[in-house]
């Protein structure tokens, strides 16, 4: 089995879903998550708070420089992720398609080394 990272890409700007739309998305994401678990491919998953809650550490001389906010400002950001263990890329892409339909957002698929 190979592990893949499914990254949920969220827009940084724009109109957020309405409460009703968000409830539907959350129900679909819960069903997707349960499907992963039922299939035995789930390893780990989690949603992330907005990029403004991030702290970045950078090397500076012999110390560490801390800064608030995201590593990179952009039109999109990582909103959540899921690690799955499947046979091959084709199976990972199938699960990514299900994640895309559940979240209504782009999903990036990357294999682990």
Chain segment 68-107, per-residue pLDDT in tens: 988 888 899 999 999 999 999 999 999 999 999 999 999 9
Domain that holds residue 18: 2-111
How many domains in the chain?
1
State residue 58's pLDDT score.
Answer: 93
State the pTM of this model.
0.91
Which tokens is 16 given?
Answer: 């957020």
CATH code where residue 49 lies = 3.30.70.1060
Q: E strand or H helix at 102, and its extent?
A: helix 89-103
Q: pLDDT tens digits, residue range 8-65?
A: 999 988 888 999 999 999 999 999 999 999 999 999 999 999 998 999 999 999 999 9
Residue reference for tokens 């294999």: 111
């Amino acid at each position: 089995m190979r592990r893949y990272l499914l990254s949920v890409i969220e827009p940084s700007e724009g109109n957020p879903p309405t409460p009703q739309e968000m409830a539907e998305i959350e129900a679909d994401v819960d069903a997707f998550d349960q499907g992963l678990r039922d299939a035995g491919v789930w390893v780990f998953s989690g949603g992330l708070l907005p990029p403004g809650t991030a702290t970045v550490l950078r090397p500076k001389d012999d110390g560490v420089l801390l800064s608030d906010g995201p590593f990179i400002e952009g039109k999109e950001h990582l909103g959540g992720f899921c690690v799955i263990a499947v046979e091959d890329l084709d199976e990972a892409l199938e699960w990514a398609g299900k994640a895309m339909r559940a979240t209504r957002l782009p999903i990036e698929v990357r294999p682990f080394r």
